[in-house]
Amino acid sequence: MKPASDLASALAEAAQVVAGVDAGQSLDDLLETGPGQEAVTDLSYNTLRRYNKVQALERVLSHRGRTAPRVRALVWCALYALERGRYAPHTLVDQAVRACAVLGQAQARGYVNGVLRSYLRDRDDVERRALSTQEARLQHPRWWIETVRRDHPAHWRAILEAGNTHPPLCLRVNRRRVPVEAYLQQLAEAGLPARRIGETAVLLDKPVPVARLPGFADGYVSVQDAGAQQCALLLDVATGQRVLDACAAPGGKSAHILEREDVALMAIESNSQRAARIAPGLSRLGLAADVRVADCTALPAWWDGRPFDRVLADVPCSGSGVARRHPDMKWLRRQSDLPEFAARQAAILDALWQVLSPGGKLLYVTCSVFRDENDAVLDAFCARTPEARREDLPGGAMPHLLPCAEHDGFFFGLLTRAA
């Protein structure tokens, strides 16, 4: 975090970001990251992780009508910072009051001062009153809570709790460059404690910038969640096969496939800006693929008629399994989005099935915990596609990988096309 003398500007900048999200904008579009932005990033991300709670706290504390959006967002950010306890309370209140002028809202200084001091004076009672609703306690919209509880009755609370945590930093070791155990030793020598949690997955005790990772520039490792690393394993790829990664950006899953096997891989991505990240990432790792910018459902634009032995369909989805990495997602998503995602997912499956060779395998993947995007989509596809057979996942893996301290939430469905 920045020193206290810079806290007012950080609070003001974070308030503008959070106010933008409250108005419907994406956090990625609003927030600048990098050196010098650590305080703003922390305030923005963690205020949004507590979005329901800080709003509820403000409602309990405020005795006036609706205030200016940036003032409300400033109060939310300050309430998070008081909860975090990294600054002395009097320092935080003083800097939040100063931030009003930075925002061009000097007239709100008395209001902000009064709200924050009331919170500190009656904290226990204010918290009790604010947390009277389930949305404030669980930090998710009501529809999201109800959907997760319906879909995962035995694990719904743990899923929601995971969605409010800081995500882990997991690395994928490039075994073409360095053995996993040797890289763990390099991490230890660099003062970065870590442990192995999968074939190539290494979990750091604490997140660090990639610049601190030994050998990152030389392609020794990539940042990739342990759950996402399951894709290359479950696809059951063999040397010499033709493989399609149909929704490939930013390229991590393509890279992992190529690290494991010598295959002819085509990577398709419809977003040109995201697609531009694929080739440089592969190059850092000493890998190459046929990268194309195209809508994977528009077959004439990219397919030459030669079938693929394996197809990875990591389809667009709600992202409910990775909400802790994108805390604005919980507040920007709507329940009505799910049928739209399901329709797009069905269209992708129908298209990609046409490029799969007889006897080939297609792995359907989402980073969602909602069954409307997972089992429901696959069941409907199999019902209308007689030659599709859903297979058990290799190694006894479960289709629903629920978010926890080691990995994000994913869904995997493996389909075989009858020969």
How far is the C-alpha of 5 from the C-alpha of 7, rounded, in Å? Answer: 6
Q: Which residue has the tokens 């959006």?
A: 69
pLDDT higher than threshold 60 for residue 13: yes
**Mean pLDDT (whole number) for 27-47:** 89
**Mean pLDDT (whole number) for 38-48:** 95
Q: Which two tokens stand for residue 212?
A: 């601190």
Q: What is the pLDDT of residues 224-268, one digit of tens each?
A: 999 999 999 999 999 999 999 999 999 999 999 999 999 999 999
Element (H, E) at 313: strand 308-314
- Chain mean pLDDT for the chain: 95
What pLDDT, on a 0 to 100 scale, did the predictor assign at position 174?
A: 98
pLDDT-based confidence at residue 2 (cuts at 50, 70, 90): very low
Q: What is the pLDDT of residues 202-233, one digit of tens each?
A: 999 999 999 999 999 999 999 999 999 999 99
**Mean pLDDT (whole number) for 52-59:** 95
**Mean pLDDT (whole number) for 349-377:** 98
pLDDT-based confidence at residue 3 (cuts at 50, 70, 90): very low
Q: What is the pLDDT of residues 111-162, one digit of tens each?
A: 999 999 999 999 999 999 999 999 999 999 999 999 999 999 999 999 999 9
Do residues 268 and 292 make contact, with C-beta atoms less than 8 angstroms apart? yes
How far is the C-alpha of 417 from the C-alpha of 35, rounded, in Å? Answer: 49
pLDDT higher than threshold 70 for residue 294: yes
Do residues 58 and 136 make contact, with C-beta atoms less than 8 angstroms apart? no
pLDDT higher than threshold 50 for residue 81: yes
How far is the C-alpha of 167 from the C-alpha of 346, rounded, in Å? Answer: 30
SS (H, E, C) 401-419: ECCCCCCCCEEEEEEEECC
- Which of 231, 296, 367, 382 is labelled catalytic? 367
pLDDT-based confidence at residue 65 (cuts at 50, 70, 90): low
- Closest by CA position to 95, among listed 77, 68, 107, 72: 77
Catalytic-residue membership of 231: no
pLDDT-based confidence at residue 33 (cuts at 50, 70, 90): confident
**pLDDT over 90 percentage in the chain:** 95
Pairing mode of beta strands 170-173, 221-223: antiparallel
Other residues' Cβ atoms within 10 Å of the Cβ of residue 247 = 21
How far is the C-alpha of 178 from the C-alpha of 164, rounded, in Å? Answer: 34
Q: What is the pLDDT of residues 309-351, one digit of tens each?
A: 999 999 999 999 999 999 999 999 999 999 999 999 999 999 9
Q: What is the dihedral of CA 104, 107, 110, 115, to 10 degrees?
A: -60
Q: Which domains does the chain have, with CATH numbers?
A: 4-139 (1.10.940.10), 170-223 (3.30.70.1170), 230-417 (3.40.50.150)
What pLDDT, on a 0 to 100 scale, did the predictor assign at position 1?
A: 42
